[in-house]
Amino acid sequence: MSARALTILALSVLTLSAMSMSVSRVVAAGEKHVVSQKGKSFSVTELHVKVGDVVEFKNDDDVSHNVFSVSKIQPFNTKMQTPGSEAAVIFTNEGTVEVRCAIHPGMRLKIQVAK
């Protein structure tokens, strides 16, 4: 085999290896946490998660909610959540995330995200 062919083969193997590592990182999901919304409040006032974890906001209330983050490290907005609906958020940054409901200002949740 020529030197050029060996180089191409080596680069192909390295590329495939790197791609398989990337795919395994994407497939390996974090832990799932469920935060219920009922009685115009969150089921918890503080939650500890790790980077990569998913928080599912589940509306178990008889009214609509609009959950959003006021923190720059993890901005999100679930938009209008009607009764019975769910919205999932993947937490990608370490730090403290303050969560509110745009409709019910008394609803407050602090999510601590660690590595």
Write out pLDDT tens, residues 27-53.
346 899 999 999 999 999 999 999 999
Task: Examine the pLDDT at 69 and tell me if it is beyond 90.
Answer: yes
The vertex-107 CA angle with 51 and 111, nearest 5°, equals 15
State whether residue 2 is helix, strand or coil.
coil
Per-residue pLDDT band for 10 (boundaries 50, 70, 90) equals very low
Average pLDDT over residues 99-111: 97
The pTM is what? 0.74
Give the count of alpha carbons within 13 A of 83, CB side only.
Answer: 6
The pLDDT value recorded for residue 27 is 34
What are the boundaries of each domain within the chain? Answer: 1-30, 32-114
The CATH superfamily of 32-114 is Cupredoxins -  blue copper proteins (2.60.40.420)
Which strands form 41-42's sheet, in the order they lie side by side? 41-42, 32-38, 54-59, 86-90
In angstroms, the CA 49 to CA 39 distance is 24
Q: pLDDT by residue (tens digit) across 47-63?
A: 999 999 999 999 999 99
